[in-house]
Amino acid sequence: MSANRWHKQDRSSTPERHVGVDKKMPAREQRRGASGGQVRWSDRLKSYLQHHQQLLTSTSRKLLTEPVQTLMTSLVVAIALGLPAALYLGIVNLEQLGSRVETTAQLTLFLNKSASDETIEQLRQSLSEDADIRSVSYISRQQTLEEFRELSGFGDVLEMLEENPLPAVLLVQPNNRFQGDLVASEALVARLMAMPVVDDVRLDMKWMERLQAILSVGERLAFALALALSLGVLLIVGNTIRLAIENRRDEIIVVKLVGGTDSYVRRPFLYTGVWYGLIGGVLAWILVALALFSLSGLVSRLATLYQSVFELEGLGMVGLLYLMATGALLGLVGAWLAVARHLSSIEPG
């Protein structure tokens, strides 16, 4: 290759323009292997920090010159980060909704229809004197029928029945130590079920156990989805960095010819991966916020129908920082894996 051709290649495809190489290498790179002359550690640190600062700005400018590619890659990263974040946010709001509902351990005792009034009164007195029970309310068969007629709207049908099919009910409110304690409440249920007059016992807080089980499954699903999509982010960023390495193969060879080490060549690609992750984290936060905003009106109207006030909880600034940090970390790891795999195969011939 002639000298003029080398000169043209150096001017049109300079390392500092495409790989983030500065016009002046850090002192550590320039003086590696030099005989004599020690460089002060303060100068080395200053040069090292200046180089990273220059790379931070140069890689950002490089991404701005390719807005379409940058936006597409960052959007894929944003979707991968936003899906588990949205699922986690849904679980948080369900937990918040469940915490607003009183976790009562009230028991409903359905009594045998053949039990006499005297037997039921003895049972009520016995339960009232029980140390584990705070209060007992009695609802007769006739009261149960009237309540069912009002709530169900089947008044005409009930008039056709020859006898009342509904049993008498005792509403038992245990002491405070049973509030929120499902294990102790179920033990009390088993003890009450053993009474001969009682046909069935229903625990009102049983639905809380089902809700907690659903939330536990949702948390595990969100964690598994986050792991799977994190692997996707690593592959996406890694593939993008791999293409960038292949496109700049000639520049990398030139940098190595003039004494640049692998770590020196690696830095701009690592910063590029970090930028992809940071932008993806911000976009993920925006996407989740938009989805939350679109649902907030529907949730508010639904809460109003139940005479309640409930607002969806968003990610907030803490969530934004978490998404940006997670995206930056995944971008850094993905870029590091891509550079470690492909950079070692590029050596001056």
Contact 183, 212 (CB under 8 A): no
How do the residues of the chain divide into helix, strand and coil, expressed in percent and rounded to 5? Answer: 70, 5, 25
What's the whole-model pTM score? 0.61
Angle at 189 between CA 187 and CA 192, to 5 degrees: 115
Task: Give 327's contacts (C-beta < 8 A, 6+ positions apart).
Answer: 77, 81, 233, 276, 277, 278, 279, 280, 281, 284
Task: Give 129's contacts (C-beta < 8 A, 6+ positions apart).
Answer: none
Question: How far is it, in rounded angstroms, from Cα 259 to Cα 250?
Answer: 15
* Ranges for all domains in the chain classified under CATH 3.30.70.3040: 107-204
Task: Give 125's contacts (C-beta < 8 A, 6+ positions apart).
Answer: none
Would you give per-residue pLDDT tens digits along the chain (349 residues)? Answer: 333 333 333 333 344 444 444 444 444 444 444 444 456 787 778 777 887 788 888 888 888 888 888 899 899 999 999 998 988 888 888 777 765 555 556 788 888 888 888 888 888 888 888 888 888 888 887 887 777 777 666 666 666 767 777 788 888 888 877 766 667 777 888 888 888 888 888 876 666 677 777 888 888 888 888 888 889 889 889 888 888 888 888 888 888 888 777 778 888 899 999 999 999 999 999 999 998 888 888 877 776 765 566 777 888 899 999 999 999 999 999 999 988 888 777 777 6
- The pLDDT value recorded for residue 172 is 86
Angle at 245 between CA 242 and CA 247, to 5 degrees: 110
Task: Dig out the tokens for 246 from the structure.
Answer: 């292949």
Q: Any idea which fold 107-204 has?
A: Alpha-Beta Plaits (3.30.70)
Q: Report phi then psi at 133, rounded to 5.
A: -115, 135
Place of tokens 């692998």: 262
